[in-house]
Structure 1
């Protein structure tokens, strides 16, 4: 058994080494060398060193110029996460390196391999070879061996080749977030509004959270710890920063052909690029602690060209070093040229929008084709086909809403960069597009909400009752409680202010980080006070997201060196940033996966989610419910009767949905009834429902007692009606029973009401309405019997139960119109 266990472990070890060969070989790499003091007599231009602890080999290739002419010693200091771990004086002549014993003025180009003593190798802790994105630097102070005078100071950051920035993590987060948005769109198209609202709210919140992590990392702070910077690079796709090689070639040509000067950081080897460095980062520890986060090279260009871009040189500058921070650092980490960042973001925004439109068109054409070949019922997806234009507009507006932050930041930042005149024109167009579309959408939402409150004393009446408004502007308010439909304006304004400071304050890192922290804290407090989302669980989720975003902003206050804290503080906070966001992202992704599985596998997705804590369901159209298709397509009469049964079940379900305590049981029972249950099954189910009568007074038994029949006859004779529909019929179908049942409930309610109830019932606007029939006065209800309620589409093939019952009742007795439920 022990032998088998060891064999399995050996096999797994071999497989892991085969899959990821980097794990099989330990190494330390350094690819840049910079000066760390003024008037340094050594100026490096190229540096590349690889240390292999297994064979103790040190391979190095360097190109530097020196003004030193003497024998020197090197005072070496090694820092890990701000802590000094190695400090030693080394005489260069004792190493046997002839190039440095002595050093002569001039240019020095060396490419060689040396073997380090075991004593020096043992001084390096083993953790240095395994921890991803290790935050470690080495500093060498060169002194004259005779006088002890400091001649030069050079420093380099090194890495072990392991990082948390992984292509797999980028794809996983992008696919899961995209699937959440896609499933929400499909469910809303097919009419499952409750499930669509929950999944859409969570998916959009997840996407906005991913964007917020990238946005906070775009601040122009002094130094972002390597682990934090690498995690942000995993989510850079949410801002459209995706590298495609041939696109980068096109963008470089486009910038140059339109009057710009494209950067070519990844094409040459004559200069070094440092990402976010600061000379005074370790003032408390010998004025040193920096790390070269990412290094690249670019071809022959003059220093003046880089000075035009006003790059920030906190270190002692030389002609071979350039430093990137903020948005440039994020773009460089994604292997995108600095001058191509804006056009890359714009291009992928357009491509994804075009792909969304193509998918919707293909779905519509596929449905039309299936109907033409009689593969599906023509009444299925009728609303999607007849309202396709408004659905398409709503989908594209929702997409612009999701990309709003990306467009604002890139457009405003381009005004400070001036990559080329053509790109500035594009930035103006996208800025106007985003502000115009989103601003107009929220303005129309406010108008419709105020109009609905004035007419019906409830904003949900128009916002959810009119399908055209819901399809086109629903992205502005469906994730919120109906009474907090305006909160989307607060969220958009919050994103706009953050985008302004990120895009326009790239060279004021301390100021922007402080303002963003105050803004995030204020929004979090306001979110807790308002609790605007559609239910408690969604509110709690967004509370957690807002808290994490605020903590991220707080951590970046330290990364900006606002407080002048020791280096250890920032390094430890970098790990806190990574652990917090990685764990929270994992929880959110798992939650979205669970929601997607519930929506796909459930026969009735709406039953899987608690109803929103408002009355939107009383007004919202439900175009379809998953039900068994018709088996007898030739019997048109039976098909029509079955449609009527479904419509009646819709009306009864809408009446009970808002107030039923055991809502989930009723949703499943409603689905079972809609699957074509016969009269005998209905009687069996009615007997079981009597046992739950105390819990659900809106769905009593369908069995008609003698007393019920007597009351029905008395009511019918009292009204003087001759209609057969008003006569009790023990052989009547399910639809007739439900019709009589609803009418009887209305009669009992009117008989038990006080004498003054009829007077108050004629003024529905003075009370808070809960369903569509309450929005009509008696005169309006009589006049609207043959017209759709709340601007219903004239092409709809099905009429709901309330309209049919009202029509039949009016034919018998016009004064009984107010009794319709």
Structure 2
């Protein structure tokens, strides 16, 4: 059957758009990879199968070995499929002259092996599309059937996956993704450092949290219990690190020992077991599972060449591998060589290692600062860290909990339903309850503060304007508008609900996918309705990320087994998913680079605003006029501009300040100076003081005459003057005190 040309064209076009590197392990060659039995009660047991097609030579080379219960003539049928399409089939008799295979003519009783090659006609080679030799993670299958020549009864059926040596599962993709996440983390740190602790400052998108959240989404997309094409399954595996799934053999062995001592069963769920197993996914093992062949033995490809009845020695070694059927979360984690029962403990230990590294780093920096303080003076900007390093550690841990809360919920719920160690289940329950309590406490505290200030001041802008509040709680709402500070609450609920659906619905792909689609759509509606981010770039980037999330779940619907979509369509959809998610990842990386350039090139916006405010104030003071309301007679503009600390507009002691307002000069009689010498007492001074004090109690006739006389003076003579008080005696006016 000819592979549909439309599918080939679409695959070729999509491959041109793929932006991530592909590991190339071969040329125009298709090979089998492991094998399994596809028949019951076989008279012939196969122990080795190796089939290779070389397009350049147009030959199929095969190497098969096994045992037979009796000697018999057989016919062999070779069937090759790609993406669910049968692209090659050939039946031959090993005893024919053109296809003679001495080891199979007839099949002897006991052990046997057969090696040979078959020429493939051009008519069949042309039916295999060129895309099959270049597309990564080829979904192909080769089947070899041996039938009795006498009655046509099937004696043996062996099937194997076919690959072309190309895959999206390469370390380079993981390293690139980790580099993007690291760059986002560094950029977020530089933004916070540039803000200088300024309250109300938002971080430019994409932030570290947004990048990690996107990587976790791609990893979670590969955990659903659906029939993924190999190309998408390999692609999602590259982002497992974002959720804490990092393979370390020593750690896995320790977890196995821990589980064994706490009620775990290591028979078919351990590192040693996975080393000796071949993973069979749902889409290639559904029929095998129905036949109840889960316990059949598999054997990897090797150089075994056993003659009839084992008369010749082995030229190689054969590694027995068991067939291990997997799906969903189990299939995702075990392709990383992590046993499914070790999933939660792996993430817990990775989390503990990260926390330990952060703690050691902060304490080491603290020691450096203390040593610096003993031998010199360090910048004032580091004084805050020196005083609050424990608080910084607590804030960092809280931020890490917020980043991992979604996937932590997934692993804990999965541990409850699939774990076998009571201690691991207990740790999952304690940590999930603790993380939920921490986030609930901060939510309640922020809500309480917002409600308090809204009641007192009419709004909750104090969450952004007050530095102490901002320093403590801003990690939850720093990028949101002041009127949408509460958006972090539905965001936490969104992470919790999404991952509960994935873990709780494991094994039910349709329910998982529909639940995911509903949750992602609700989050999309919330973002479009509120547009809560304070920066326009934040709104656009997060809305686009959410759109891709929704479209990804729609594409995953194609992989649901109940819908019965053709395998070729699934492969095309998987490739579209890879391209779509790769393009978004590349766009985030470009935006991170652009933000980094902007931060390095532009001035600090807060420092710039502060300088502009000072410049405007000095300009206003320079342009004051006598009639300007700001031109107070009790303020010296020159002195005000010269001082670094702004004092009150009205002087506390206007009459005695240097450079201030100088009242009308006093007469010698009033000041108590005679000929430049001050009178410090005497009868005259005392009498003058008593007379003036007495005049405060009432107005004498002479005083009235004096007052009326003053009113008749010309305007030039009406200058400000002090009361008629003798300032020579001790008092509050001139020198001396009580």
Please tell me whether residue 174 in structure 1 is matched to residue 175 in structure 2.
Answer: no
Match of 1:733 among 612, 629, 642: 642
Q: Distance in 2 between matches of 1:706 and 1:272?
A: 87
Q: Deviations over 1:498-533 (max 9, x none)?
A: 111222221222211221112212221222112122
Cα 1:268/1:524, change in 2 over 3 Å = closer
Q: Distance in 2 between matches of 1:281 and 1:597?
A: 55
CA contact (8 A) 1:357 1:396 kept: no
Q: Distance in 2 between matches of 1:182 and 1:380?
A: 19
Cα 1:366/1:60, change in 2 over 3 Å = farther
Q: What is the RMSD of the two structures over their aligned residues, measured on CA atoms?
A: 3.8
Number of the residue aligned with 2:315: none
Cα 1:448/1:38, change in 2 over 3 Å = farther
- Paired residue secondary structure (1:138): strand
Quote how far apart the aligned CAs of 1:534 are: 2.0
Q: Distance in 2 between matches of 1:581 and 1:116?
A: 42
Cα 1:199/1:728, change in 2 over 3 Å = closer
Please tell me whether residue 437 in structure 1 is matched to residue 469 in structure 2.
Answer: no
Cα 1:341/1:97, change in 2 over 3 Å = farther
Number of the residue aligned with 1:573: 573
Q: Deviations over 1:440-494 (max 9, x none)?
A: 2222222222222112222221x23444433332221112222111111111111
Q: Deviations over 1:748-774 (max 9, x none)?
A: xxxxxxxxxxxxxxxxxxxxxxxxxxx
Number of the residue aligned with 1:661: none
Quote how far apart the aligned CAs of 1:153 are: 4.5
Please tell me whether residue 554 in structure 1 is matched to residue 554 in structure 2.
Answer: yes
TM-score (norm. length: structure 1): 0.65
Quote how far apart the aligned CAs of 1:409 are: 1.0
Match of 2:351 among 349, 352, 372: 349
CA contact (8 A) 1:332 1:338 kept: yes
Number of the residue aligned with 1:188: 192
Q: Distance in 2 between matches of 1:36 and 1:547?
A: 42
CA contact (8 A) 2:200 2:470 kept: no
Q: Deviations over 1:210-254 (max 9, x none)?
A: 101111211122x11111111101100011111123223322333
Number of the residue aligned with 1:707: 625
Number of the residue aligned with 1:743: none
Q: Deviations over 1:650-683 (max 9, x none)?
A: xxxxxxxxxxxxxxxx64xx55898xxxxxxx6x
- Paired residue secondary structure (1:31): strand
Number of the residue aligned with 1:405: 406
Q: How does 1:53-64 map to 2 (within 5 A)?
A: none
Cα 1:109/1:356, change in 2 over 3 Å = farther
Number of the residue aligned with 2:470: 470
Q: Which moved more, 1:730-739 or 1:513-522?
A: 730-739
Structure 1: unaligned runs, 5 residues or longer: 1-18, 289-294, 298-318, 608-624, 626-665, 675-681, 687-698, 741-821
Cα 1:673/1:248, change in 2 over 3 Å = same
- Paired residue secondary structure (2:425): helix
Quote how far apart the aligned CAs of 1:574 are: 0.8
Q: Distance in 1 between matches of 2:449 and 2:547?
A: 32
Number of the residue aligned with 1:691: none
Q: Deviations over 1:357-415 (max 9, x none)?
A: 333333344344444443533x3233333333333222110101101122111111111
Q: Distance in 1 between matches of 2:274 and 2:211?
A: 39
Q: How does 1:653-668 map to 2 (within 5 A)?
A: 667=609
Q: How does 1:333-482 map to 2 (within 5 A)?
A: 333-374=335-376, 376-377=378-379, 379-461=380-462, 463-482=463-482
Cα 1:21/1:210, change in 2 over 3 Å = closer
Match of 1:274 among 269, 274, 280: 280
Cα 1:570/1:450, change in 2 over 3 Å = same
Number of the residue aligned with 2:545: 545
CA contact (8 A) 1:276 1:329 kept: no
CA contact (8 A) 1:517 1:554 kept: yes
Number of the residue aligned with 2:655: none
Please tell me whether residue 211 in structure 1 is matched to residue 210 in structure 2.
Answer: no
Cα 1:343/1:104, change in 2 over 3 Å = farther
Q: Which moved more, 1:699-708 or 1:559-568?
A: 699-708
Match of 1:89 among 88, 91, 95: 91
CA contact (8 A) 2:46 2:66 kept: yes
- Paired residue secondary structure (1:34): strand
CA contact (8 A) 1:241 1:341 kept: yes
Q: How does 1:2-401 map to 2 (within 5 A)?
A: 25-36=27-38, 47-51=49-53, 70-94=72-96, 95-103=99-107, 110=113, 113-117=115-119, 119=121, 122-123=125-126, 124-145=128-149, 147-148=151-152, 153-185=157-189, 187-188=191-192, 191=196, 193=198, 197-199=202-204, 202-221=207-226, 223-262=227-266, 263-264=269-270, 272-278=278-284, 320-374=322-376, 376-377=378-379, 379-401=380-402
Q: Distance in 1 between matches of 2:412 and 2:299?
A: 26
Quote how far apart the aligned CAs of 1:739 are: 8.8
Cα 1:26/1:363, change in 2 over 3 Å = farther
Cα 1:727/1:218, change in 2 over 3 Å = same
Quote how far apart the aligned CAs of 1:328 are: 1.6
CA contact (8 A) 2:344 2:415 kept: yes
Cα 1:143/1:389, change in 2 over 3 Å = same
- Paired residue secondary structure (1:89): strand
CA contact (8 A) 1:255 1:420 kept: yes
CA contact (8 A) 1:78 1:137 kept: yes
Q: Distance in 2 between matches of 1:495 and 1:35?
A: 42
Q: Distance in 1 between matches of 2:628 and 2:104?
A: 114
Q: Distance in 2 between matches of 1:571 and 1:605?
A: 49
Cα 1:75/1:159, change in 2 over 3 Å = same
Q: Which moved more, 1:41-50 or 1:162-171?
A: 41-50
Quote how far apart the aligned CAs of 1:104 are: 6.2
Q: How does 1:569-608 map to 2 (within 5 A)?
A: 569-599=569-599, 601-602=600-601, 604-606=603-605
Quote how far apart the aligned CAs of 1:543 are: 0.7
Structure 2: unaligned runs, 5 residues or longer: 1-20, 292-297, 301-320, 650-738
TM-score (norm. length: structure 2): 0.72
Cα 1:531/1:339, change in 2 over 3 Å = same
Cα 1:187/1:390, change in 2 over 3 Å = farther
Q: How does 1:586-665 map to 2 (within 5 A)?
A: 586-599=586-599, 601-602=600-601, 604-606=603-605
Quote how far apart the aligned CAs of 1:422 are: 2.3
Quote how far apart the aligned CAs of 1:431 are: 1.5
- The structure number with the bigger radius of gyration is 2
Number of the residue aligned with 2:11: none
Aligned residues: 597
Cα 1:232/1:735, change in 2 over 3 Å = same
Q: Distance in 1 between matches of 2:276 and 2:238?
A: 29
CA contact (8 A) 1:265 1:296 kept: no
CA contact (8 A) 1:40 1:151 kept: yes
Q: Distance in 2 between matches of 1:522 and 1:184?
A: 28
